[in-house]
Amino acid sequence: MATPRSAGAEACVPELLSTCRSLLDEVKGAAPPVAVGIGFGGPVDAAAGVVRRSHHVEGWSGRPLAAVFAEATGLPAYLENDANAAALAEALFGAGRGADPVLYVNVGTGIGGGLVLGGRVYRGAHFNAGEIGHLVLLPDGPPCPCGKRGCLEALASGDAIGRMAQERRDAGMLAGSALATLEPLTGRAVGEYACRGDLASREIVGEAGTYLGWALALSANLLDPQIIVVGGGVSALGDVYLEPARRRFRELAMDWVADVQIVPAALGYDAGVIGAAAVAMTMVSLPQGGSG
């Protein structure tokens, strides 16, 4: 279901509930569902089932999303940050399977992350551990939707790639590049041209990847993960984005984590959905792979 940034919660929630009811109708006659898992793109209070805020779509702050879904479906509902949900999916069923701990980073419009320890999401005291996107790397850097400046999200996300391209074009630095006249000049478009070999595009994507590697090194020095999994739309650019990240990571990581592998996610765009189901599965203590 597409969600325009201009569409607030009031417009989105009825569509989400309608989609959920349709899915429940589709599985009638099979093993009956026992819970609903919800992955939300922003900080949440997982214990209370309440959205804290969304940095990209208006109207979500304070919304008791778990209770809304529980009332609509008659099933217990569990709310989780979408990056945490995807982290759990990749740790249990994807690129991180068999590793522990697993550090997961989701790079798309924004940047989120999650840490899975012993097969469970580590949420922290305030239920929002893993917010790697808001590590401040450049205190005087570009503004971030969170209100700070120079966060990783403002330097390495899809939106950041688009902004960097626009800044370079405005400064007359893209002469000879396909980006010089491209409209609209988005992060997605820059990534596509980078994969086609456009040098200016590759330089921009590589700079973003280098910032990612910096943040991953800081995180690995602190958390000592066995593997780092990178998912989200920008990660689909592959080595154009990830190899600069790996180079900077090896430069900055302490020697005991310098060899930690940085790998692309295996579950693609299904990671969030699988993760939301996995969250519900772990909360109701079903065996992995069991029905429900």
Give pLDDT tens digits for 103-131.
999 999 999 999 999 999 999 988 889 99
pLDDT at 141 over 70: yes
> How many other CB atoms are there within 10 angstroms of residue 170's CB atom?
9
Do both 261 and 278 map to the same domain? no
Number of domains, the chain: 2
Q: Which residue has the higher pLDDT, 186 or 290?
A: 186
pLDDT at 101 over 80: yes
Do both 37 and 142 map to the same domain? no
Give pLDDT tens digits for 196-209.
999 999 999 999 99
Do both 172 and 73 map to the same domain? no
* pLDDT score for 103: 98
- The domain of 277 spans 9-84+270-283
Residue 121's φ and ψ, nearest 5 degrees, are -70, 130
For the segment 85-113, the average pLDDT, to the nearest whole number, is 97
Do both 105 and 120 map to the same domain? yes
Do both 42 and 173 map to the same domain? no
Distance CA 121, CA 275 (A): 10
Does residue 92 sit within a domain?
A: no
- Lookup result for tokens 């930690």: 260
* pLDDT score for 13: 85
**Tokens linked to 46:** 């997982």
Do both 69 and 177 map to the same domain? no
* pLDDT score for 200: 97
56 and 43 Cβ atoms separated by less than 8 Å: no
Give pLDDT tens digits for 47-68.
899 998 776 666 788 889 999 9
- Which DSSP helix (H) or strand (E) runs through 73? helix 65-73
Does residue 240 sit within a domain?
A: yes
Do both 18 and 74 map to the same domain? yes
Q: What is the mean pLDDT of the chain?
A: 91
Of the listed ranges 33-42, 135-144, 153-162, 181-190, the one predicted with least confidence: 33-42
CATH of the domain at 74: 3.30.420.40
In SS3 terms, 47-61 reads as CCCEECCCCCCCCCC
* pLDDT score for 10: 75
Distance CA 64, CA 51 (A): 6
- The upper half-sphere exposure of residue 107, i.e. CA atoms within 13 Å in the direction of its Cβ, equals 35
Does residue 291 sit within a domain?
A: no
Do both 129 and 214 map to the same domain? yes
Confidence of residue 171 (pLDDT cuts 50, 70, 90): very high
Does residue 21 sit within a domain?
A: yes
Residue 212's φ and ψ, nearest 5 degrees, are -60, -45
> How many other CB atoms are there within 10 angstroms of residue 291's CB atom?
10
| Spacing of C-alpha 151 from chain mean position | 15
Does residue 4 sit within a domain?
A: no
Do both 119 and 231 map to the same domain? yes
Does residue 62 sit within a domain?
A: yes
Does residue 91 sit within a domain?
A: no
For the segment 2-23, the average pLDDT, to the nearest whole number, is 76
Do both 75 and 174 map to the same domain? no
* pLDDT score for 288: 46
Distance CA 268, CA 148 (A): 30
* pLDDT score for 2: 60
Give pLDDT tens digits for 278-292.
999 888 864 444 433
Do both 142 and 218 map to the same domain? yes
Confidence of residue 6 (pLDDT cuts 50, 70, 90): low
195 and 234 Cβ atoms separated by less than 8 Å: no
Does residue 174 sit within a domain?
A: yes
Do both 221 and 243 map to the same domain? yes
Distance CA 242, CA 229 (A): 11
Confidence of residue 215 (pLDDT cuts 50, 70, 90): very high
